[in-house]
Structure 1
Amino acid sequence: MRIRIAARGSLLSRIQVKMVEDKLRNLGIETELIVVKTKADLFQDKPLNSLGKGVFEKEVNEAVINGEADIAVHSMKDMLSDMDEKLVLYGVLPRDSPYDSLVAEKDLFNIESGKVIGTSSIRRRSMISFYRRDLVVKDLRGNIDTRLKKYQSKEYDGIVIAEAAIKRLNSVVRYYKIDPKIITPEANQGIIAIVGRVNEKLKTLFRELNDERTLKEALVERTVVKLLGGGCHSPIGILASMISENEFNVISTYVISDKKKITIEGIYRGDPTTVGEKVVKDMVKVLKHENSSVTT
């Protein structure tokens, strides 16, 4: 059996594909990588929020839908909360670190005033500005290895990226893991997802590779994002950590302005969808009390 894998061609994407390939090869399955360029790859000089939704996944998924590949491998945080109806989520690998990190010589609260911090995320930008309005936050595009090179060439005094990316690239850099109550991660950060067409044979195969704990955490977070209208172009952060069967510790954050941020944390019980709905209900209640407009 041979499985064709569609993915972006970045170094990090290739490493993530290899993580899936290694598991498949342990089952005696051969693989072939199909490299796909996405809108995000083609327009690296433009801010992400100007490119629309699904900029890291659309073309990769189309390769699967069109039959050019059997599966797609994604950083799950890049996936839209509503998948194309022609595709299904086959499974996820065990979650790596979900946290954000500041690559810099000093941590967020000790870096000097006026320093330039790079990020392409509205969520990160909003949360940094809430705590440190004296820092200059500038847009940062490019693949993770490119971003690190820009930092090392001193184009930026610090950059905020996912800790999982640093570890997967084996990058030797000084960085500070950021408390999720300070900068709450994006939904599904640190998770690698496998997507394919409706195919019972492949669904059964990937069920063996799926990490159930990670999948449940991912579904809680995706429910919150879907109901609140979040994603990489929004000031929403969400992190669910499974404590036991159908019990989760959840941290959720919504940045209203650089002077007002709502963060709630609690233990919620129920299936992942129910937990996500409860989190949204609590968040909306607080936001309405703060006179913020939220549509669900």
Structure 2
Amino acid sequence: TTKADLFLNEPLQKLGKGVFEKEVNRLVMEGNADIAVHSMKDLTSQLDPGLEVIATLKRDSPYDALVADSELFKLEKGSIIGTSSLRRKNIISFFRSDINVADIRGNIDTRLSKVKTSQYAGIIIAHASLQRLNIETKYFVFSPYDFTPEVNQGIIAIVSRKDNIEMKKVLSEIDDKETHSIAETERTASNIIGGGCNSPFGIFFEFYDKEFHGIATFSDSKKKITVETWSRENEKISGEKLGKTLLRQMKNEGIIL
């Protein structure tokens, strides 16, 4: 149980970036565990210098999904949508300023119950969560151009100590190389932009026809800026290209962080 699990009523922004990972990773650093398994989107952009991601599983769906009876654009005015993600809140408000967004925490069943009992008209969660738990409910999957996913969404990462050579060797058998490459490219773009867990940015890469195809979005609820890049370069160059493209477009539109 982490701090985030204990303080379910606290906004994620208040608990701080990396709240889900730090306590678990500390066990690995102290030698009390060989590995830590994370949803990679919860990892801070910079791990402890003694740790590294030694494997990633094949990526599940990276997209966001709205669990509701109607699509976002068909919801009634004044409807309440639940999410604790700043990125999702801002995009919802950009597209539908006439509906309300409320914080929601807890496990998937707890959040889904809020919809079933009509406390919320809908909730936005990772599509991968619905798939992994084989949940049968009505939902709508968003395009990455409308709701650009959080960095590394849908990726399971395994963290270990850099000096644990044996563990690296064992887990290299399950490391999905394409997913690992995409994950590092997204994290490079995030570092350029200055985004991270629960930031107003979305960053998504896919490998298509031997090219890195990237989409990045910034939204402050009043404005939404989305850019797209293609690159045949390596992870570092491709990630930097997307990050710099978004920052340049934000500057052109008068947004300086």
Q: TM-score of the superposition, structure 2-length normalised?
A: 0.97
Counterpart position of 2:236: 273
Task: Measure the CA separation in 2 of the matches of 1:241 and 1:89.
Answer: 19
Number of equivalences: 256
Question: Superposed, which structure 2 residues align to 1:118-137 within 5 Å?
Answer: 118-137=82-101
Question: Superposed, which structure 2 residues align to 1:1-296 within 5 Å?
Answer: 37-198=1-162, 199-245=164-210, 247-255=211-219, 257-294=220-257
Q: Is the 8 A contact 1:90 1:207 kept in 2?
A: yes
Code of the aligned partner of 1:200: I
Q: Is the 8 A contact 1:241 1:249 kept in 2?
A: yes
1:197 CA drift (Å): 1.0
Deviates more, 1:230-239 or 1:143-152: 143-152
Question: What's the CA shift string for 1:200-231, capped at 9, x where partnerless?
Answer: 11111111110011011111111111121112
* Matched residue SS, 2:41: helix
Q: Is the 8 A contact 1:87 1:197 kept in 2?
A: yes
Q: Is the 8 A contact 1:180 1:251 kept in 2?
A: yes
Question: What's the CA shift string for 1:41-82, capped at 9, x where partnerless?
Answer: 010011110001211111111111122211000000000010
Code of the aligned partner of 1:203: K
* Matched residue SS, 2:59: coil
Task: Measure the CA separation in 1 of the matches of 2:100 and 2:51.
Answer: 41
Sequence identity of aligned pairs in percent? 50
Question: What's the CA shift string for 1:217-267, capped at 9, x where partnerless?
Answer: 11111111112111232110011001144x211111011x32211001221
Q: Is the 8 A contact 2:67 2:140 kept in 1?
A: yes
* Matched residue SS, 1:231: coil
Structure 2 unaligned segments of length 5 or more: list them.
none
Q: Is the 8 A contact 1:122 1:232 kept in 2?
A: no
Task: Measure the CA separation in 1 of the matches of 2:53 and 2:19.
Answer: 18
Higher relative contact order (CA 8 A, sep 6+): 2
Q: Is the 8 A contact 2:185 2:238 kept in 1?
A: yes
* Matched residue SS, 1:109: helix
Structure 1 unaligned segments of length 5 or more: list them.
1-36
Task: Measure the CA separation in 2 of the matches of 1:83 and 1:160.
Answer: 28
* Matched residue SS, 2:73: coil
* Matched residue SS, 1:288: helix
